[in-house]
Amino acid sequence: MLVSTTIAGTAVPAAAAEADPIYAAIEEHKRAHAAVNVEIVKTDELEAAIPSAKRKTLHIDEEVFETDDPRWLTHLRTLHELYDAESDAECALADIVPTTAAGVCALLKYGVEHEEVHGTTWNNLVDPDDESGFYRRVGHSWHYFVNRNIITCLEGLAGAA
């Protein structure tokens, strides 16, 4: 299906979006991030509707109080799943090597746009390829992985020229 997309306010032709997998990864991250934001709003609503004695669970992957309101527990489970999906989408953005110069520009623009618009920074990610083991524990910045992939793309494009 040929569909155009918009990256940082710029329309991307459908053929370009299909030619470079980074466009789909950007769109997936946008969807995942938006879903988290929708669910976060529900936190305030539930905190106002449910007494604190029925909201003792703070994180669904830690101590869960079965006496908590089921709506609260459902919300925390949903939020946890959405955060996981957003994290997976963020990792995909850092893992996919763009295949076109336009894809490189789109990824760079989206990285900046995401921080400027949402006021959030990208997470550090672990490096499974690090032979010293240090970065498998500590991680590199999201930008490190993106830059590494951009170099790979541009070297390939320069070699193909």
Q: Is the pLDDT of residue 136 over 70?
A: no
Establish how many alpha carbons lie within 13 A of residue 37's alpha carbon, considering only the half-sphere containing its beta carbon: 9
Residue 83 tokens, joined: 């955060």
| The pLDDT of residue 140 | 80
Q: CA 114 to CA 91: how far, in whole Å?
A: 15
Residue scoring higher pLDDT (14 or 131): 131
Domain ranges of the chain: 5-160
Q: What is the pTM for the complete model shown?
A: 0.78
Average pLDDT score over the chain: 85
Share of the chain above pLDDT 70, in %: 80
Give the model's confidence band at 124: pLDDT under 50 very low, under 70 low, under 90 confident, else very high: confident
Smallest CA-to-CA distance from 90 within 130, 146, 137 is with 146
